[in-house]
Amino acid sequence: MIALGLVGTSRVLGLGPREQRDLAWAFFVRCRDALRQGSAAAASLEALQAHALMALFLLQEGDCSAVYHMLGIAIRKAHMIGLHRAPAADAPPAERATRGRLWWLLASLDVACALQLGAPPAIHLAMVACPLPDPAEDLALARWAGVPASACQAHLAHLAAALQAAGACELAVELLGAHASSATAVDACAGRLQRALDRLRQWRAELPPALRREPDPDAEAEAEHARDLDLDLDLERPAWVAHQRVLLDLAYHGAHVLLLRPFVNHAATASAAALPPSVAPHVDGAAGVALHVIRLVHTLCSDSDPLYGSTVAVHALWVAAVTLASAAVALPLCVAASDACAGLAQALEVFQWLAPSCPLAAHAHGAVQAAADRVYAALGSDVAAAAAASDELASLWDPTTFSAAGDASPPPPLPASAHPNLDLAFPSMGDSFSWPLDDPPLF
């Protein structure tokens, strides 16, 4: 908990940024070593709570791959003590609530990491009997305890369950795996994707009105909505409501991007002749939703501060920027890609703002800058001109522009090896701090 507090605070009096991060890692290593020894290594509620806190710390630091492996151990231990089952009826209410919330926290992190990495989840709903947390009960508890974050966690648990029920993680694995070379298999995945998107929209429609931004754009209007973002923060409500509203909105659009991103990866690696017709609309949709996320975070960081103390915006922006860059290179004539350079410039601007207090943003800035440079090179445009107004950028993707210039074809795409790598996890922070990377696994 101390390590999480250190990485979630922009400044600690008496400590510089480097010392603050080193101290956070020192507490993390102490917790890791304690879990390896004695009774703490056994499966227990306290040990699982420590695993969950360590996973949140690593996710805060951007090491999604390490979180994925740690959750595999934690979920196995959770099965050992029956955390996936319904709590005993005669158990104290506090214990019942703790067991349920802890299980679904692990499940939410598992689904998020599996989608991010294109890997299979460790949890299967067919084996789970633990009831989902009731957002109304969590909200009442939050108001009583003065910690409203638990209400948001309840909704995120329902989101994880919806994505699991739709087979979202398995869909990404199949599309990124050996079956991706078959046009028939890709078309089948495109058809199954609609089920996952329907579950995602249903989850959003069931959110309380105070936690749901209106209007709720459908898939076809998503890209156009991103171009004309009118952010309604509803400042008359308590600050924590605005904070959770933003977090849930980012969770919705972040999951939307991750569901569509395997199609972007397929378009970036497959030849144009072998590209099934069902892929291009999903690439266009991914670019539109990614652009929406970028503009949402940029607007929030420019006009208000409801994301203070959270790296959720950095994570969402990182995924959206890489997805947008890859979509622009894979299909430069798609509609949403006409704003790709301007969107990447906005993402880089946010990373630059957050870099002094968030090392993850500094690392993401370098990675997204490299991806943006590849986009500019693929489009054959000047960097400064490409980052100008979006109406000037539209001509770069207009086929009539190339015809008028005597060249009927758009700029050639980059070779496959030069495409922005969609399989990258969040930048690992391990190299920046003095902790033993050559140690045995963290768990």
Instruction: Assess if residue 149 is contained within a domain.
Output: no
The whole-angstrom separation of Cα 266 and Cα 213 is: 32
What is the residue type of 202?
Answer: Q
Residues 78 and 197 in one domain: no
Query: Across residues 351-373, what is the average pLDDT?
Result: 83
Q: Are 107 and 162 in contact (CB under 8 A)?
A: no
Average pLDDT over the chain, rounded to whole? 71
Residues 298 and 230 in one domain: yes
Residue 141: predicted pLDDT? 57
Q: Quick check: 399 pLDDT over 60?
A: no
Q: Which of 61-65, 271-275, 337-341, 435-439 has the highest mean pLDDT?
A: 61-65
Residue 164: predicted pLDDT? 82
Predicted model pTM: 0.74
Instruction: Write out pLDDT tens, residues 65-76.
Output: 888 888 998 999
Q: Quick check: 21 pLDDT over 80?
A: no
Residues 103 and 192 in one domain: no
Residue 395: predicted pLDDT? 32
* % of the chain beyond a pLDDT of 70: 64
Q: Which of 215-229, 239-253, 423-437 has the highest mean pLDDT?
A: 239-253
Instruction: Write out pLDDT tens, residues 110-139.
Output: 988 888 888 888 888 888 888 888 777 666
Residues 215 and 116 in one domain: no
Query: Across residues 315-339, what is the average pLDDT?
Result: 78
Q: Are 293 and 320 in contact (CB under 8 A)?
A: yes
Instruction: Write out pLDDT tens, residues 161-220.
Output: 888 887 888 877 777 665 556 667 777 787 778 888 888 898 888 888 877 776 444 444
Q: Quick check: 391 pLDDT over 60?
A: no
**Helix, strand, coil proportions of the chain in percent (round to 5)?**
70, 0, 30
User: CA nearest 369: which of 323, 418, 321, 424?
Assistant: 321
Residues 108 and 210 in one domain: no
Q: Give the list of residues 6+ apart from residue 175 with CB closer than 8 angstroms, or none.
A: 186, 189, 262, 263, 265, 266
Q: How many domains are there within the chain?
A: 2
State whether the Cα torsion 375-380-385-391 is positive or negative.
negative
Residue 277 is classified by DSSP as T
Domain housing 17? 1-133
Q: Quick check: 372 pLDDT over 50?
A: yes
Residues 182 and 277 in one domain: yes
Instruction: Assess if residue 374 is contained within a domain.
Output: yes
Residues 128 and 170 in one domain: no
Q: Give the list of residues 6+ apart from residue 399 with CB closer than 8 angstroms, or none.
A: 333, 408, 410
Residue 294's pLDDT band (cuts 50, 70, 90) = very high
